[in-house]
């Protein structure tokens, strides 16, 4: 976790966008709040216009870095659990297609 990121007690600070494909990657924003929204752990912050925006918490530095990411050191862009989830989704979509249902 970045030294500027808010701690889990909700103290104010900044949060950095860390998702490598997000256009705000590397930018820091004023932290507002963290909460479960749309069944997802999300971080709210003030964008460059002073408006509240939010992103999945996993796309920020609010939590410690995933140990897999550290060990992979950029050599493996996907975690096994994410690949398994994608494979399950593909299987579900194939099953619907075979049954004549649309996704």
Residue 89 has pLDDT above 80, yes or no: yes
Of the pLDDT bands very low, low, confident and very high (cuts 50, 70, 90), residue 102 is low
| pLDDT band at residue 101 using 50, 70 and 90 as cut-offs | low
Ranking 32-36, 56-60, 76-80 by mean pLDDT, the lowest is 76-80
Residue 20's pLDDT band, with cuts at 50, 70 and 90, is very high
**CATH code, 1-64:** 2.30.30
Question: 28-37 and 14-16 as β-strands: parallel, antiparallel, unpaired?
Answer: antiparallel
The angle subtended at Cα 67 by Cα 22 and Cα 18, nearest 5°, is: 15
**Dist. CA 78–CA 39, nearest whole Å:** 22
Tell me the domain boundaries of the chain. 1-64, 66-103
- The pLDDT, as a whole number, for residue 12 is 56
């Amino acid at each position: 976790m970045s030294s500027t990121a808010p701690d889990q007690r909700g103290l104010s600070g900044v949060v950095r966008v860390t998702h490598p494909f997000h256009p705000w990657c590397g930018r820091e924003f004023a932290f507002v709040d963290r909460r479960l929204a749309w069944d997802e752990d999300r971080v709210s912050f003030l964008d460059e216009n002073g408006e509240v925006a939010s992103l999945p918490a996993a796309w920020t530095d609010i939590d410690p870095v995933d140990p897999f990411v550290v060990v992979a050191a950029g050599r493996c862009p996907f975690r096994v659990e994410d690949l398994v989830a994608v494979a399950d989704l593909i299987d579900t979509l194939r099953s619907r297609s075979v049954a004549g249902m649309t996704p």
